[in-house]
Structure 1
Amino acid sequence: MTDKLAAQLLDAAKSFSSMSPAEIQALLRRAAMRINNRPLPSRSAILLQEVAEMADEFAEEHDMTRDEAVNAILIDWGVAAGHLEIDDLDDEDE
C-alpha cells in the first residue's frame, strides 16, 4: 500500500484527534477495500450511511432512483454554488 492512501492513513494516525468521524470512516472503508483487493466499480461512489439515507428519502419523495436523486441534489448544489450553469445541462438531465 505504498501510495496516496497509505500516506493518508499515516497522516491520519498522526493527527487522529483533529479528524472528523466521517473522514476517518471514509479512510477506513478505502483501506478495507484495498486490503480485500476489491476495486471500486468504475464511475461509482461510496456514500456515508447518513448521506445514503438522505438520498434514499429524497428519491422516495420524488419517485426517483437513488442515482437520479444524487444527480438532482448535485445539480441543484452545482447551480446554487455557481459551478454549473443551467445552459450546460442536456435536456434529459433537467
Structure 2
Amino acid sequence: MRGLIADELDRIRLVIEDFGVQLCGDPVVVRSHFSVLQAIDELCQRHENLARMLRSDDMVRETAGITLESLRARLSARLADARDDIHRPD
C-alpha cells in the first residue's frame, strides 16, 4: 500500500513540475511570480522525499536522508515528540 501511495505522490509531483516548467517558460511570469515558482519547486521536493520515505523499509531512518531541510526538521521534531510521548510516564 505504501508503494502505491508513493507512486501517486510521484505522479502528482510530475504534474506540478510540468506546471512549473511551463510557467518558467514565460519571463514575465518568472519576474512577477518568482516566489510562487519557488513554492512549486518546494512542493515537488516534498512529494519526492515523502514518496522515497514511503518506499523505505525503515521510514524513521530515511528521515535523516530527506534533502529538503524544512521537511527533515519538521519530521524529525515530530518523531522526537512522539518518542517523548511514548516514554513519558502517565
Q: TM-score, normalised by structure 2?
A: 0.36
Higher normalized contact order (CA 8 Å, seq sep 6+, divided by chain length): 2
> Which structure carries more helix by proportion?
2
